[in-house]
């Protein structure tokens, strides 16, 4: 079904691309891609006259090489630089692909790696994750479908067991693989490192696996020529010689989580680069530690030695270039107990994507707060780049503080929680995604000193480090110089990567989902309605890497995506509403509820004020909510309610009375809208399974009893409609549901209960297909009529690729002989497409919609239903 709210957003709406022409990306290809991008809503801007890139305006830079002058500046501004095949990948999926895997930076050897650690000791874990991240990878604590590598010492861990059982595609590798790649600065074939029987360990049959020691590494290193096609010593193939450590003494503090193996590697890298490790703080030039405390830290700080943490060290190694550790918030050791005041904070993030999101996660954690992937009612803060998103709406509803990232950055930089009353923290320029100015906050060094190493000599930058700065980071310095000039125009830049929001949620959800209203899986691709797809892309999310791309994960991604398009928040909202008003009954969902409650509190006396129309469960409703109030009796001024009546007996066969009553209602501020319009209240005498009822219920309308309208007409007064919520015990019991629960669920489902779920219906079904179509589509299903001449419309997928098993596909049917003949054909089609056929009575659909919960019971199968009925 088509969206009713105008132009559907296109895939690249709000994106501004600029291209870097190169040997690897020719003019012709650029032109071709530009046309494609434009077709999907993007703007493409040309380099400036002097050949430089319009960084201030671009949201994405497409380049197949990092060999262009502004690369460093672009990355420091966190403007994503992606290879051109990112565009194709996005188009192929009809949603923006994740950015990291498409980095053209050859140093990001782990860019498409999603790592999950299994039975790895904590200290190793930290260092492996740190190194992986430094080279472009991502980490997922839970085993999700997007995980590409599990790092483990044995296959005993449940994660490994699960991967093996479910035949997941991810590789189970020894930590040595990461170490060796890190050391080489190259990604080597993991085959010799693969569990359960890794070749590199076979050389040491007696070697104990549980404690990984450097022996394994030594063994692996010396044995490497046997396993690695390109010898390590080949200069061309291994990491280029580091120059950054020349004549430098580096001290690794004992508080670091660095494994013996990794420490050896680091040591080797440093000494190969002409530096050395030292154990004496007095001797060292650079001090690497995890926490901002301890004698050594204080002494190093007092001696004005550059101090950074492992991330900083990895950055130096990866980039072979100097950067001041206090220039990047995540390069400096963390405060052991966080920043005062953040300990009890639960912070969620919205509208930031890619690097920016990962950075914020780390910053939140480092500040001592808890980062949450999803936002629930118990969150204290939402950090967002723009003031609009579903999370933002929910934050407003739940009284969760909203701020942009400057708040957390400056709090961390100043080592003190900044007040949200400072307006810059809550300022959200209309057309700007503040992601564009992330990562530019530096430490307040005086504050660091005052708090963590009071006294000592006045801080003076070490001259040696100044000298270092010149070479490779020249570009970065240019960036600094240029940044104030850019700042002025920067806020013209449009959304940065909004769609990348909530990666992590998507990822997690893909595997862990259980219970609750489930978004439907989709596999029958020929059903896809691009408009809807794209619409959800706006808030939806992609988090998969090329190595896991397959049609198999599509269903999970689908789930994830619909999940992201608001269900998480909405369900949580619903839960909260339930908690909020447990006693006097009605668990309404969403803003409507919040508004009602507020009204109740503020306004309990003026009982004649019904709630303002809701506008957030239904995009279509938004403009209507702003309708000016009608000029009526003064006491009724505020009243505004659009109602749809179903089964209203009073007017049966009395057009005259109907017209008069409608006028009367309108004077009271109640407008009886005709079919096809949006309404706030569905007025019904009882629970009925009519199209009108189900369709409006699906849209989240509040269902009130006809007696409300009767009372209005009889008394000329408008009591709060919420006092007249429809109660129909008898039918509720008959149908086995609670109406107000359904209403609340409907509000949370936002018409997406059946999103993407393929529902076929026999052409000859009793009463016609039309009403089922309307009901199914009101809930986002893909509705198709199925007849004797229908071809196959399910695109087959490889069953082995879907560890979750086949997705269901439904056929609504009755048991008449003509329809019966179709069953086998339908079932064959489904099975061929690796889907599970369910031929059901239409009551299944009606019940599911009435309950607003996607469930299934074999009693609905036609074979059961019509036999017993």
Closer residue to ligand NAG, CB minimum distance, 17 or 681: 681
Categorise residue 159: left if φ over 0, alpha if ψ from -120 to 50, beta otherwise.
alpha
Sheet containing 249-252: order of strands: 276-278, 249-252, 286-288, 307-308
DSSP at 807? E
Instruction: Look up tokens 């009204």; give the residue.
Output: 599
Give the pair of three-digit tokens for residue 169: 């595609």
Region near ligand NAG per CB under 6 A, out of 42-50, 276-284, 689-697, 729-737:
689-697
Among 141, 218, 635, 733, contact with ligand NAG (rule: CB under 6 A):
141
Does residue 330 belong to the site contacting ligand NAG (CB under 6 A)?
yes
Alpha carbon distance 690, 422 (integer Å)? 53
Q: Does 399 bind ligand NAG (CB under 6 A)?
A: yes
Residue 405 CA to residue 381 CA, distance in Å, equals 11
Contact stretch for ligand NAG (CB under 6 A) within 18-26, 169-177, 224-232, 671-679: 671-679
Helix H or strand E encompassing 74: helix 71-76
Q: Which residue has the tokens 């740190």?
A: 130
**Does residue 22 belong to the site contacting ligand NAG (CB under 6 A)?**
no
Comparison of 192 and 306: residue with beta carbon closer to ligand NAG: 306
| Near ligand NAG by CB under 6 A: residue from 230, 304, 401, 707 | 401
Helix 390-398, helix 568-580: angle, nearest 10: 10
Q: How far is the CB of 503 from ligand NAG (least distance, A)?
A: 12
Q: Is residue 819 close enough to count as binding ligand NAG by CB under 6 A?
A: no
Q: Which stretch binds ligand NAG (CB under 6 A): 309-317, 703-711, 794-802, 822-830?
A: 309-317
* Radius of gyration for the chain, computed over Cα atoms and rounded to the nearest angstrom: 31
DSSP state of 441: -
Assess 714 for contact with ligand NAG (CB under 6 A).
no
Options 191, 464, 622, 691; binder of ligand NAG; rule CB under 6 A: 691
Site string for ligand NAG, 503-522 (x = CB under 6 A): -----x---x----------
Only one of the segments 2-10, 670-678, 731-739, 828-836 lies at the binding site for ligand NAG (rule: CB under 6 A); that segment is 670-678
Strand locations in 124-183 (E): 138-139, 149-151, 171-173
Structure tokens at 448: 């660091």
Which of 692, 738, 795, 820 touches ligand NAG by CB under 6 A?
692
Q: What is the dihedral of CA 329, 330, 331, 335, to 10 degrees?
A: 90
Let me know how many helices (H) and strands (E) the chain has, helices first.
Answer: 32, 24
Of the listed pieces 14-22, 106-114, 304-312, 485-493, which binds ligand NAG according to CB under 6 A? Answer: 304-312
Residue 344 as a binder of ligand NAG (CB under 6 A): the answer is: no
Residue (653 or 767) nearer to ligand NAG, CB: 767
- Output the smallest distance, CB 232 to ligand NAG, in A: 25
Query: Residue 833 Cβ, how far from ligand NAG at the closest point, in Å?
Result: 27
- Residue 644 binding ligand NAG, by CB under 6 A: yes
Minimum Å distance from CB 363 to ligand NAG?
Answer: 7
Residues 6 or more apart from 765 whose CB is under 8 A from it?
772, 812, 813, 814, 819, 842
Tell me if the bond preceding 196 is cis, omega within 30° of 0: yes
Q: Residues near 27 by Cβ (< 8 Å), separated by ≥ 6?
A: 21
Closest approach of ligand NAG to the CB of residue 328, in Å:
9
* Residue 28 vs 399, nearer CB to ligand NAG: 399
* Residue carrying structure tokens 């480090």: 465
Whichever of 350 and 432 has its CB closer to ligand NAG, that residue is 350
Stretch that binds ligand NAG, among 4-12, 245-253, 328-336, 752-760 (CB under 6 A): 328-336
| b/e sequence 81-115, b meaning 16+ C-beta within 10 Å | bbbbbbbebbbebebbbbbbbbbbbebbbbbbbbb
Q: Site for ligand NAG (CB under 6 A): which residue of 76, 96, 311, 671?
A: 311
Which of 362, 529, 632, 638 binds ligand NAG (CB under 6 A)? It is 362
357 binds ligand NAG (CB under 6 A): no
Q: Which of 695, 750, 752, 773 binds ligand NAG (CB under 6 A)?
A: 695
Query: Count residues contacting ligand NAG (CB under 6 A)?
Result: 32
List the one residue from 676, 736, 791, 817 that touches ligand NAG (CB under 6 A).
676
Q: What single DSSP character describes residue 581?
A: S
Q: Which of 679, 775, 850, 854 binds ligand NAG (CB under 6 A)?
A: 679
Cα→Cα distances 816→322, 493, 740, 819, Å: 78, 61, 36, 6
Instruction: Based on the shown chain and the rule CB under 6 A, indicate whether residue 766 belongs to the binding site for ligand NAG.
Output: yes
> What DSSP character marks residue 725?
B
The distance of closest approach from Cβ of residue 791 to ligand NAG in the complex, given in angstroms and rounded to an integer, is: 27
The angle subtended at Cα 674 by Cα 671 and Cα 679, nearest 5°, is 60
Q: Which residue has the tokens 């002097």?
A: 50
Site for ligand NAG in 439-478 (CB under 6 A): none
Least distance from ligand NAG to the Cβ atom of residue 782, Å: 19
Taking the least distance from each CB to ligand NAG, the nearer of 215 and 401 is 401
Among 28, 421, 463, 767, binds ligand NAG (CB under 6 A): 767
CB of 802 to ligand NAG, least distance (A): 20
We find the least distance from the C-beta atom of residue 127 to ligand NAG, in angstroms, to be 7
Helix, strand or coil, per DSSP, at residue 115: strand
User: Rounded CA gap, 831 and 799, in Å?
Assistant: 10
Residues 551-610 that bind ligand NAG (CB under 6 A): none
Q: Which residue, 68 or 693, is less far from ligand NAG as judged by CB?
A: 693
Query: x/- string (CB under 6 A) for ligand NAG, residues 768-807?
Result: ----------------------------------------
Nearest approach in angstroms of CB 771 to ligand NAG is 8
Instruction: Provide the 10 A C-beta neighbour count for residue 257.
Output: 17
C-beta of residue 33 within 8 angstroms of C-beta of residue 60: no
Give the closest residue to 633 by CA, choosing from 716, 701, 540. Answer: 716
**HEC string for 189-256:** CCHHHECCCCHHHHCCCCCCCCCCCHHHHHHHHHHHHHHCCCCCCCCCCCCCCCCCCCCCEEEECCCC
Please identify, among the stretches 107-115, 228-236, 348-356, 676-684, the one whose residues bind ligand NAG according to the rule CB under 6 A: 676-684
User: With contact defined as beta carbons under 8 Å apart, do 749 and 743 qualify?
Assistant: no
Closer residue to ligand NAG (CB): 153 or 307: 307
Query: CB of residue 231 vs ligand NAG: minimum separation in angstroms?
Result: 30
The span of 32-40, 92-100, 336-344, 672-680 binding ligand NAG (CB under 6 A) equals 672-680
> What 3-state DSSP class applies to 100?
helix
Cβ within 8 Å of residue 562, ≥6 positions away: 519, 520, 536, 540, 752, 755, 756
Is residue 334 part of the contact set for ligand NAG (CB under 6 A)?
yes
Q: Does 315 bind ligand NAG (CB under 6 A)?
A: no
Q: What are phi and psi for residue 782, nearest 5 degrees?
A: -95, 110
Binding site for ligand NAG (CB under 6 A): 126, 130, 141-142, 290, 309-311, 330, 332, 334, 362, 366, 373, 399, 401, 508, 512, 644, 675-676, 678-679, 691-692, 695-696, 699, 701, 766-767, 842
């Amino acid at each position: 079904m088509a969206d009713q709210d105008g132009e559907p957003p296109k895939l690249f709406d709000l994106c501004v691309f600029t291209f870097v022409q190169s040997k690897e990306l020719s003019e012709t290809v650029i032109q071709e891609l530009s046309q494609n991008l434009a077709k999907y809503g993007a703007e493409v801007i040309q380099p400036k006259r002097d050949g430089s890139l319009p960084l201030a305006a671009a949201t994405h830079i497409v380049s197949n090489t990092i060999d262009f002058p502004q690369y460093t500046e672009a990355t420091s501004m966190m403007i994503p630089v992606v290879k051109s095949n990112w565009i194709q990948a996005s188009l192929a999926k009809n949603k923006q692909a994740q950015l990291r895997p498409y980095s053209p930076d050859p140093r990001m050897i782990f860019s498409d790696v999603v790592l999950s650690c299994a039975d790895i000791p904590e200290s190793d874990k930290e260092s492996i994750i740190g190194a992986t991240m430094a080279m472009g990878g991502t980490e997922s604590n839970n085993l999700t479908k997007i995980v590409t590598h599990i790092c483990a010492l044995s296959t005993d861990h449940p994660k490994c067991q699960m991967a093996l059982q479910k035949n997941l595609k991810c590789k189970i590798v020894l930590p040595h693989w990461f170490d060796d790649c890190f050391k080489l600065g190259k990604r080597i074939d993991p085959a010799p490192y693969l569990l359960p029987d890794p070749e590199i360990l076979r050389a040491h049959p007696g070697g104990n696996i549980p404690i990984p020691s450097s022996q394994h590494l030594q063994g692996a290193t010396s044995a490497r020529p046997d396993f690695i096609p390109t010898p390590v010593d080949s200069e061309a193939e291994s990491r280029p010689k580091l120059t950054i450590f020349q004549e430098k003494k580096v001290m690794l503090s004992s508080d670091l989580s660095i494994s013996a193996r990794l420490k050896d590697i680091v040591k080797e890298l440093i000494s190969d680069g002409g530096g050395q490790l030292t154990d004496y703080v007095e001797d060292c030039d650079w001090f690497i530690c995890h926490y901002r405390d301890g004698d050594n830290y204080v002494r190093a700080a007092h001696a004005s030695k550059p101090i950074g943490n492992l991330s900083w060290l990895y950055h130096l190694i990866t980039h072979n270039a100097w950067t001041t550790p206090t220039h990047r918030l995540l390069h400096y050791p963390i405060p052991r107990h966080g920043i005062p005041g953040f300990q009890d904070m639960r912070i969620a993030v919205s509208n930031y994507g890619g690097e920016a999101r990962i950075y914020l996660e780390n910053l939140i954690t480092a500040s001592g707060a808890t980062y949450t992937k999803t936002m629930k009612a118990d969150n204290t803060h939402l950090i967002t780049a723009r003031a609009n998103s579903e999370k933002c709406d929910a934050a407003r509803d739940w009284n969760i503080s909203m701020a942009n990232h400057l708040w957390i950055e400056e709090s961390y930089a100043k080592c003190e929680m900044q007040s949200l009353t400072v307006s810059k923290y809550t300022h959200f320029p209309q057309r700007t995604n503040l992601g564009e100015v992330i990562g530019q906050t530096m430490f307040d060094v005086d504050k660091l000193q005052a708090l963590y190493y009071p006294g000592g000599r006045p801080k003076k930058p070490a001259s040696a480090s100044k000298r270092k700065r010149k070479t490779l980071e020249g570009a970065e310095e240019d960036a600094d110089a240029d940044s104030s000039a850019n700042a002025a125009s920067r806020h013209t830049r449009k959304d940065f990567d909004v769609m990348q929001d909530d990666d992590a949620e998507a990822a997690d959800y893909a595997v862990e989902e259980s219970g609750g209203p489930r978004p439907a899986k989709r596999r029958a691709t020929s059903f896809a309605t691009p408009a809807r797809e794209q619409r959800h892309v706006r808030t939806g999310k992609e988090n998969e890497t090329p190595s896991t791309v397959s049609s198999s994960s599509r269903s999970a991604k689908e789930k994830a995506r619909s999940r992201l398009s608001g269900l998480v928040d909405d369900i949580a909202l619903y839960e909260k509403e339930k908690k909020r008003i447990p006693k006097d009954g009605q668990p309404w969902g969403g803003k409507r509820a919040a508004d009602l409650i507020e009204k109740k509190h503020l306004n309990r006396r003026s009982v004649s004020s019904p709630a303002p129309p809701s506008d957030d469960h239904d995009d279509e409703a938004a403009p209507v909510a702003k309708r000016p109030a009608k000029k009526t009796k003064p006491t009724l001024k505020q009243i505004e309610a659009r109602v749809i009546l179903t089964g209203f007996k009073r007017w049966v066969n009395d057009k005259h009375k109907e017209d008069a009553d409608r006028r009367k209602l309108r004077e009271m501020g109640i407008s009886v809208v005709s079919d096809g319009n949006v309404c706030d209240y569905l007025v019904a005498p009882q629970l009925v399974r009519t199209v009108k009822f189900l369709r409006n219920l699906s849209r989240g309308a509040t269902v009130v009893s006809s007696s409300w309208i009767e009372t209005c007409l009889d008394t000329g007064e408008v009591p709060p409609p919420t006092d007249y919520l429809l109660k129909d015990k008898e039918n509720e019991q008959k149908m086995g549901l609670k109406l107000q629960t359904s209403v609340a669920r409907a509000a949370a489902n936002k018409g997406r209960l059946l999103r993407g779920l393929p529902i076929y219906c026999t052409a000859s079904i009793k009463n016609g297909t039309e009403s089922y179509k309307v009901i199914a589509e009101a809930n986002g299903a893909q509705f198709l009529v199925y007849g004797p001449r229908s071809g196959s419309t399910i695109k087959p997928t490889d069953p082995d690729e879907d560890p979750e098993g086949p997705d269901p596909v439904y056929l609504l049917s009755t048991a008449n002989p003509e329809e019966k003949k179709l069953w086998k054909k339908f079932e064959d089609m489904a099975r061929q497409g690796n889907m599970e056929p369910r031929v059901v009575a239409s009551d299944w659909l009606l019940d599911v919609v009435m309950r607003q919960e996607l469930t299934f019971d074999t009693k609905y199968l036609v074979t059961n239903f019509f036999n017993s009925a």
